[in-house]
């Protein structure tokens, strides 16, 4: 399982509870909210319709989860928000 941990609308880290997944993925954060981002840090992201959108992007690493992801899944399922 992989989880994207956010705080204040920002990605803090990407974590997994399965060590076999580490190193298996290229993970990129793309943020279209570029307010306050230095111009040299903005890239153009091609869209399906042929246009481009300005964004800030960076590579992320997959870290070992320091949280109980199984507990999070169990709580989501109890709320009726599990896999559909």
Domain count for the chain, please give it: 1
* pLDDT at residue 84 is higher than 70: no
What band does 59 get if pLDDT is binned at 50, 70 and 90? Answer: very high
Phi/psi zone of residue 76: left (φ > 0), alpha (ψ -120 to 50 degrees), beta? alpha
Summarize pLDDT for 42-57 with one digit per residue, the tens: 999 999 999 999 999 9
Spatial separation of the C-alpha atoms in residues 26 and 31, rounded to whole Å: 16
* Tokens encoding 45: 């992201």
- What is the span of the domain harbouring residue 11? 2-30+56-78
Question: Does some domain include residue 19?
Answer: yes
Question: Does some domain include residue 63?
Answer: yes
Question: Does some domain include residue 10?
Answer: yes
**DSSP assignment, residue 75?**
H
Spatial separation of the C-alpha atoms in residues 15 and 66, rounded to whole Å: 8
Question: Does some domain include residue 49?
Answer: no
Question: Does some domain include residue 62?
Answer: yes
Question: Does some domain include residue 50?
Answer: no
What band does 79 get if pLDDT is binned at 50, 70 and 90? Answer: very high
Question: Does some domain include residue 69?
Answer: yes
């Amino acid at each position: 399982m992989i989880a994207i941990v956010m705080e204040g609308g920002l990605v803090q880290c990407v974590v997994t509870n399965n060590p076999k997944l580490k190193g298996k993925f290229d993970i990129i954060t793309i943020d279209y909210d570029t307010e306050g981002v230095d111009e040299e840090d903005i890239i153009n992201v091609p869209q399906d319709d042929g246009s481009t959108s300005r964004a800030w992007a960076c590579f992320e690493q997959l870290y070992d989860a320091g949280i109980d992801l199984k507990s999070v899944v169990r709580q989501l399922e109890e709320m009726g928000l599990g896999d559909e």
